[in-house]
Structure 1
Amino acid sequence: MPLLTTPDELTSKAFDYIVVGAGGSGATLASRLTEDANVNVLLLEAGGVHYDDPVVDIPAQFAATFLNPKYDWGFPVVKQACSNNVQHVWPRGKGLGGSTSMNFLCWIKPPSQDVDAIERLGNPGWNWVDFQKYSLRAETFHPAVKEITDSFPHTYNEKNRGTSGPVGVTDPIHAYTADKVFIDTLVNKGVKLLEDPYGGEVTGAYIASNNVDPRTWKRTYSASAYLHPYEDRQNLVVLPNAYVTRVLWADEKDAERNLVASGVEYIFGEQKLTVTASKEVILSAGAIKSPHILELSGVGKPELLEKLGVDAKLDLPGVGENLQEHHFASVVFELDTTKADHQTLDLFFNPEFAKESIRLHAEGKGTHRTGITAFAFLPLTSRAPEETSAAIGNLEKDIKDRIAKGEIPPALAKQYDIQLETLKDKGLPDMELIAFPGFFGAREIPAPGKRFLSILVMLNHPISRGSIHAKTDNPQDFPEIIPNYFKEEFDTKVLVEHVKFVRSLTEIEPFKSNCTEVQPGPACTTDEQIADYLKGIHTTTFHTVGSCSMLPREDGGVVDSKLKVYGTKNLRVADISIVPLHIAAHMQTTAYAIGEKGRFNSSICSLQ
């Protein structure tokens, strides 16, 4: 695989496909396309190359790349009026591998019903059966080691695990005592311990796999899995540091009056250059940049494009709309080290310990071998069933009233119908809890020597919708990101119920004997106080979807079920921006599945 350091060689090359963005979907799709020796692909990535970079490769360095411009775009977010006017920043991966090179190593799959809902919204073939087929192509699974199985009743089902994919996935090498406290408490509370959360049933508690290769104990990310091993593949050309600004269009439309993509314009250093594609252009630039590139290419709301001074080529008002984002906060507990030797990630606050752990990693030992592992996905009614059922009923009434008044358009009403079904189903999850074995708080770091367990509470199915749009016609200006956090009051209610459920664990062993709450602390008691705490500290979970929704065009869709942009002959979007309704899962497995499906199933995405 030629990895170019300059674009000079591109002037004499012809490409069938141009893929924009080398993240989870883009690197996967480009690599799989070029398994056909007769297909030539150019992969353009705006960031650099991080091969053999220990900050990327070595696990357990959570957020080490965040806000570092070498690795992270650090997209600013508009201050959120319904979220204490806090100024958020969205970290996103910059370089070959995209956000798979900087995530928290969580290998998670959604509930089957969430994936089937995508098909129900008008996308034939986008269902759980197909999702499972293509996600399995991405992974090679390595079962848990004896240290884990000795500590946890750890089981798995072989049919739910891939055996020959590029992404190395392993159950964690290290069993944290804090994880065991969390899982055992949930089981004692009556939460189901799952046999295997990778077959479409995720409601319950479990120890998750990580995208780590146990042969090296290094992170496996899209570039290391799908690109680096194929350096000799001559029909895949990769150009890093190539910032795509817009899609180029042929002078003439096709017979159906569709726009025809002829290539892309990109910036390399001080140069503005172009390159052509004979077959297709595929945007895999992520949920923030794919809609941004579309708008700068003249695709979107004509009135917005006119204000920007961009020539409107295609009226497609769904571009940048229907934005949905997971976000989370933490409830922090101090662990009683007299009850157990709680070895948590707090030890990394000691520079000598961290240095020694890095040294041990080179020998295949130590703490730097694992990601986040202990999870629970639960129905909202797990917390005070009568109270939460009443809240769901009030939400349903409010939505129906607003639909009747014309305040909620029919397309969004279809999504809300499915969300209400999920909320009312006592077997489907709307709450996500993660045990982070260490201090994960927004306030001052406590005194050295203490050990903590932070329970992260995640909003998985937001009712609020936001948007991402270009602010200027300068492609290097960041787009305007408006997630509308907590605009819908029910989202606040859901996260408040998360916190109250977490606090109920302090009445149950072994949580009761091991954990004392420090954040938000005993002074925070009422729902209003909890909500204020959450709005002050919550942050992105890096799982943005919906900004190029795969929906019928009349429902605000940007792409059809073959991932083709409406009104074009040969422009596609293949990344998690196409997901039209959010799912209860961390998104990297889904990103890989989109890339795999785009290549292998020509009846769905005829990229061959």
Structure 2
Amino acid sequence: MNLFLAFLLCILHAAECLPLNSPLLDSYDYIIVGGGPSGLTVANRLSENPATNVLLLEAGPADSNEPWIQIPFFAGQGVGSSLDWNLQTVPQTFLDGRTRALPQGRNRGGIGDYDDWVALGNPGWSFWDLLPYFVKSETFTPHPQSDAANAVGINQNPLVHGHSGPVNVSFSNHIYNETVNFFSALNELQMPVSYDPNDGTTAGASFLPLSLNPANQTRCDARSAYFEPYATRPNLWISTNQHVTRVLFEGGSGNPNTTIPTPGDSSVGQGNSYSRPDGLFSNITQNAIVSKRPRPWPINLVLNAFTSRFRKQKREPTNTPITSGPGLLKANGVEFASAASAPRKNITVVREVIIAAGAIHTPQILKLSGIGPSSELQPLQIPVMVDLPGVGMNLQDHALVGVFYPYQRPTSLTSVQIASNYTLFNQFGAIYQANRTGPWTAGPPDGNAFPALSVLTNSSLSIITKAQTQKATHWLPTDIHPNVLAGFDAQRQLLTKALQDPKRAVYELLNFNYGAFSNVNMRPFSRGTVKLISSRPFDPPIIDPRYGSNPVDLDILLASIVYNRKVLATTPMKLLQPLQLNPSPNATDQEILEFIKANLQTEFHPSGTCAMLPLDLGGVVDPQLLVYGTQNLRLVDASIMPVIPASHLQAVVYGVAEKVRTELREPL
């Protein structure tokens, strides 16, 4: 009888489970817009309370566990797929006048990065405030001690890692021989190479842990971490292919153009969602000597690869206005549609609307809802609900330049050689399927350095001087709002201090096992914008990162590429016989600058467009991530970052999303 009852209970429980795209209710306690890492994290944590109904609306389709999602060797091939918005920037006039692709679809940065957030008016957001949430998000598996691990300086501090969180963080089972040469070269140059990159204390080289399941060597994404193990919850609705067109407010007339279905569907951006662009390292294929013989797998797909318990907080006084109380807007739901031509639907919310649509689409949704600069909304005939000049401003990104140095004497098979040969490709694929070892457990990026500016001894002083003496008005748009201008000036002063600190990273040197580096500016001074092209919600926004608009950024990239010559001249790297193609080893500074302007592109880290700053500094959200002028509209994604950390952003976004659960004060 007990077995029968248990079986019956299992059946009843299964009947309560909600598969993807289940029929929706008319109202929810929380509505979350966006199903990326931040949205799924918040949805998971809120639905831990079985008495709370949570709806997450995601504009894109659900993935089908494609190999390029699961297998590390294929990382980066989602660029240009049906899961990509396929967005383009406007022509970049400070570079070479061409547009750039901006695809949208694991380290945390240094202690000083978050001290800057606090200095900009955000108590409770220091590294040590965020550390419990970084820890809460992960289950960290240390790398086993081995000669290979020691050779690349893997050093793990258990005090800064979690052991019971949803995201598996571990190391690949494969380390390329050439990566050992890279770390040995940096060691010869006296750069720190043995420390835990997640303890926030050192600038130098590190072999980064990845979001990787150590048992089966598959990538651990937000869906597998925060949704699939909890999909049986009967109070969690996930609905895909649902594009939120605006937030609805009590007593607000809203933007009438969102409600009108229009022919066509621009929801995937300016490009064809099934045509793959050259992508992240297109300049490598342009400058390299590439064989023209047929390949089993397109080489540009290899080069696209990239790796990528709540504590009560004591609240200190803040210089930002209180965002709750009478007279503030109250969100009462959202409007959404499956396509531009589809009828609109409305769903009401009881407690909060939480937007987690990313640094490009979160400001777009706010503006379509009437929250943003009145100077932008009024010409589009969008009723202004809250005049917030900072919405869509302060856009920051890590700008990347790929440089190709093909090894003439590699000491192991490189990822390019493997991907370009049917026999090798199938051989290592079989090894991966059999025992989860070999090159398929690792992508081409293999080892990083995050150096301080002080390593560039020949040019660091001149760069610092330029940053100290420039005026905020010199390199920003002429029509910028005074509050946003003041916000950048406050950021500029903190960025300048970071340039002077030998313990804070300024750029990234990303190593590729086949003979290439990516040089990335991690502390951009340039600021861009995200603006509406129309009041229609399915029209892609106007994205202008304004890459290179501040000359300090180009100076840092120039100095870093010149520093590459020192790395290549070390004894360990000379053994590989790297061939310097373009820029050549004798290129002048001006020639290198032209190379940078022609090849600069995104590192996939847009952020800052709805910054957590005081109102008088152009802020959009307060330290609790509530939108100014509203009482129950919250943002949780990279758009809230006032200054982009010198790190990859995935771990940061998970930490921000975990922290917001405390701000919501939703009882479990």
TM-score by length of structure 2 reads 0.82
Instruction: Give the residue type in structure 1 aligned to 2:418.
Output: L
Residue 88 of structure 2 corresponds to residue 79 of structure 1: no
Cα pair 2:202 2:503 within 8 Å, conserved? no
Q: Secondary structure at the match of 1:181?
A: helix
Which runs of structure 2 are paired with 1:221-370 in the superposition (5 Å)? 221-251=221-251, 256-269=326-339, 270-337=342-409, 340-363=411-434, 364-370=436-442
Which position in structure 2 is the counterpart of 1:488? 550
Cα pair 2:354 2:633 within 8 Å, conserved? yes
Q: How many angstroms does 1:481 deviate by?
A: 0.3
Give a deviation string over 1:551-600, Cα, whole Å, max 9, x none.
0111100000000000001000000100011110000001100110011x
Moved more, 162-171 or 266-275: 266-275
Instruction: Give the residue type in structure 2 aligned to 1:116.
Output: D
Q: Secondary structure at the match of 1:325?
A: coil
Which position in structure 2 is the counterpart of 1:102? none
Q: Per the alignment, do residues 287 and 153 of structure 1 end up closer, same or farther by CA in structure 2, a change over 3 Å counting?
A: closer
Which position in structure 1 is the counterpart of 2:77? 64
Q: Secondary structure at the match of 1:173?
A: coil
CA distance in 2, matches of 1:381, 1:151: 25
Moved more, 513-522 or 318-327: 513-522
Q: How many angstroms does 1:50 deviate by?
A: 1.4
Cα pair 1:140 1:164 within 8 Å, conserved? yes
Which position in structure 1 is the counterpart of 2:488? 412
Moved more, 582-591 or 326-335: 326-335
Cα pair 1:212 1:370 within 8 Å, conserved? no
Q: Secondary structure at the match of 1:391?
A: helix
540, 562, 585: which one aligns with 2:602: 540
Which runs of structure 2 are paired with 1:378-389 in the superposition (5 Å)? 378-385=451-458, 387-389=459-461
Give a deviation string over 1:187-231, Cα, whole Å, max 9, x none.
011101232111112401111101110112111011110001112
40, 46, 53: which one aligns with 1:27: 40
Residue 534 of structure 2 corresponds to residue 463 of structure 1: no
CA distance in 2, matches of 1:564, 1:346: 50
CA distance in 1, matches of 2:451, 2:416: 26
Cα pair 1:48 1:241 within 8 Å, conserved? yes
Which position in structure 2 is the counterpart of 1:441? none
Residue 71 of structure 2 corresponds to residue 38 of structure 1: no
Cα pair 2:151 2:184 within 8 Å, conserved? no
CA distance in 1, matches of 2:344, 2:428: 45
Instruction: Give the residue type in structure 1 aligned to 2:449.
Output: A
Which position in structure 1 is the counterpart of 2:591? 529
Q: How many angstroms does 1:342 deviate by?
A: 4.5
Instruction: Give the residue type in structure 1 aligned to 2:495.
Output: Q
Residue 445 of structure 2 corresponds to residue 432 of structure 1: no
Instruction: Give the residue type in structure 1 aligned to 2:457.
Output: A
Q: How many angstroms does 1:340 deviate by?
A: 2.3
Corresponding pairs, count:
571
CA distance in 2, matches of 1:195, 1:272: 53
Cα pair 2:529 2:545 within 8 Å, conserved? yes
Q: How many angstroms does 1:53 deviate by?
A: 2.4
Instruction: Give the residue type in structure 2 aligned to 1:475.
Output: P
CA distance in 2, matches of 1:304, 1:78: 18
Cα pair 2:446 2:513 within 8 Å, conserved? no
**Gap runs ≥5 in structure 1:** 94-106, 439-452
CA distance in 1, matches of 2:604, 2:561: 21
Which position in structure 1 is the counterpart of 2:281? none
CA distance in 2, matches of 1:397, 1:330: 30
Which position in structure 1 is the counterpart of 2:121? 122
Q: Secondary structure at the match of 2:439?
A: coil
Instruction: Give the residue type in structure 2 aligned to 1:361.
Output: Y
RMSD: 2.1
Q: Secondary structure at the match of 1:77?
A: coil
Which position in structure 1 is the counterpart of 2:581? 519
Q: Per the alignment, do residues 555 and 216 of structure 1 end up closer, same or farther by CA in structure 2, a change over 3 Å counting?
A: same
Instruction: Give the residue type in structure 2 aligned to 1:176.
Output: Y
Which position in structure 2 is the counterpart of 1:161? 161
Which position in structure 2 is the counterpart of 1:2? 18
Which position in structure 2 is the counterpart of 1:112? 111
Which runs of structure 2 are paired with 1:195-206 in the superposition (5 Å)? 195-206=195-206
CA distance in 2, matches of 1:596, 1:297: 26
Instruction: Give the residue type in structure 2 aligned to 1:118.
Output: W
Structure with a larger share of its residues in strand: 1
Residue 539 of structure 2 corresponds to residue 477 of structure 1: yes
Cα pair 2:408 2:579 within 8 Å, conserved? no
Cα pair 1:30 1:43 within 8 Å, conserved? yes
CA distance in 2, matches of 1:171, 1:193: 17
Q: Per the alignment, do residues 401 and 565 of structure 1 end up closer, same or farther by CA in structure 2, a change over 3 Å counting?
A: closer
CA distance in 2, matches of 1:47, 1:409: 35
Instruction: Give the residue type in structure 1 aligned to 2:112.
Output: Q
CA distance in 1, matches of 2:96, 2:153: 43
Q: How many angstroms does 1:37 deviate by?
A: 1.3
Q: How many angstroms does 1:21 deviate by?
A: 0.5
Instruction: Give the residue type in structure 1 aligned to 2:470.
Output: D
Residue 230 of structure 2 corresponds to residue 220 of structure 1: no
Q: Per the alignment, do residues 4 and 206 of structure 1 end up closer, same or farther by CA in structure 2, a change over 3 Å counting?
A: closer
CA distance in 1, matches of 2:542, 2:601: 17
CA distance in 2, matches of 1:375, 1:161: 20
Q: How many angstroms does 1:425 deviate by?
A: 1.6
Which position in structure 2 is the counterpart of 1:566? 628
Give a deviation string over 1:240-280, Cα, whole Å, max 9, x none.
11111110111279852111101111112523211111000
Q: How many angstroms does 1:150 deviate by?
A: 6.0
Q: Per the alignment, do residues 461 and 153 of structure 1 end up closer, same or farther by CA in structure 2, a change over 3 Å counting?
A: closer
Q: Secondary structure at the match of 1:334?
A: coil
Q: How many angstroms does 1:51 deviate by?
A: 4.2
Instruction: Give the residue type in structure 2 aligned to 1:88.
Output: R
Q: Per the alignment, do residues 401 and 76 of structure 1 end up closer, same or farther by CA in structure 2, a change over 3 Å counting?
A: closer
Residue 137 of structure 2 corresponds to residue 138 of structure 1: yes
CA distance in 2, matches of 1:373, 1:304: 44
- Identity in percent: 31
Q: Per the alignment, do residues 513 and 71 of structure 1 end up closer, same or farther by CA in structure 2, a change over 3 Å counting?
A: same
Instruction: Give the residue type in structure 1 aligned to 2:28.
Output: F
Instruction: Give the residue type in structure 1 aligned to 2:71.
Output: I
Which position in structure 2 is the counterpart of 1:174? 174
Q: Secondary structure at the match of 1:227?
A: helix
